[in-house]
Amino acid sequence: MRIGLVQITTSDDKADNLRLASEKIREAADKGATLIVCPEATSQAFDSGRLDTQAEELDGPFATGLRELARELGVTIVAGMFRPADSQGEINRVYNTALITGNGLHEGYDKIHTFDTARYQESKTVRPGTDLHTFTHEGVTVGVAICFDIRYPEQFKQLAREGAKVIVVPTSWADGENKVEQWNILSRARALDAGVFIMAPDQARPGGSAEAGKNSGPTGVGHSMAVAPDGRILAEGGYEPEVIVVDIDPDEAAKQQEALPLL
């Protein structure tokens, strides 16, 4: 299976973001990738304004634009977007959704674990999801998680129990001291916990390497990760935008799960 990881920096303009993502998805498809994963918040970057004003259902222009592109290219695309959720007082919350589209699929996973910390409260504007999600690509079960989910090993182990050999993790990671190191360790740890491939594209670092290490909101640090079930790094991005393509053998996950039965 050939998988593409699209590392980009999106903006506040959903139409521009669709054009940017489409260009990079085409690049990955031209390199032979059949499963192409874009970051969390591909439709609209975090810290770029209200999310509810551009949120849409899966029949909206962003989601259907990617569905048409997936049909044209004959690939499956995963990309972060936002859907309307509920209202709490004057705040219209959204779901933080990973769209999965192409090859007969058009569905979404809603992020379960919102990024709630001492400095940032995602749940104020994002309603947490409740359900795990898998889909089938080229006969292989693929699990879905988003960004902060990666801090919760049981979610990844349960996806593996449900048959996942690959877990895709669209991400928009916050920068700051040791943040890249944490992201690297967590991606590898979740691969080892569940005995699966982790395919985790992050938003590129706004401002590139010149801004690396400075505290930021969850707007990306780059360093997209492709990790094997035994914890080996297959590919890792830098701070700048790029497209990564990796080849994997999903049978390696089954062998790892058998050799180290942690599930």
Mean pLDDT across the stretch 52-67?
A: 98
Q: Which of 14, 24, 38, 40 does the annotation list as catalytic?
A: 40
User: Whole-prediction pTM value?
Assistant: 0.98
Segments making up each domain of the chain, as ranges: 2-259
- Residue 40: active-site member: yes
Q: Express each pLDDT in 197-254 by its tens digit.
A: 999 999 999 999 999 999 999 999 999 999 999 999 999 999 999 999 999 999 999 9
| 107-162: pLDDT as tens digits | 999 999 999 988 889 999 999 999 999 999 999 999 999 999 999 999 999 999 99
Residue 27 annotated as catalytic: no
Tokens of 102: 């192409």
Active-site residue, selected from the candidate residues 147, 157, 165, 236: 147
- pLDDT for position 119: 83
The distance of Cα 175 from the centroid of its chain, to the nearest Å, equals 17
The burial of 119, by beta-carbon neighbours within 10 Å (0-12 exposed, 13-18 middle, 19 or more buried), is given as: exposed
Q: Which amino acid is at 6?
A: V
User: Which of 14, 24, 111, 157 does the annotation list as catalytic?
Assistant: 111
| 147: annotated active-site residue | yes
Pairing verdict, β 105-110 and 91-102: antiparallel
Phi, then psi, of 81 in degrees rounded to 5:
-150, 180
Residue 5 contacts residue 27 (beta carbons within 8 Å): no
245 DSSP β-pair partners: 4
Give the DSSP H/E element, type plus range, for residue 97: strand 91-102
The answer regarding whether domain 2-259 maps to CATH 3.60.110.10 reads yes
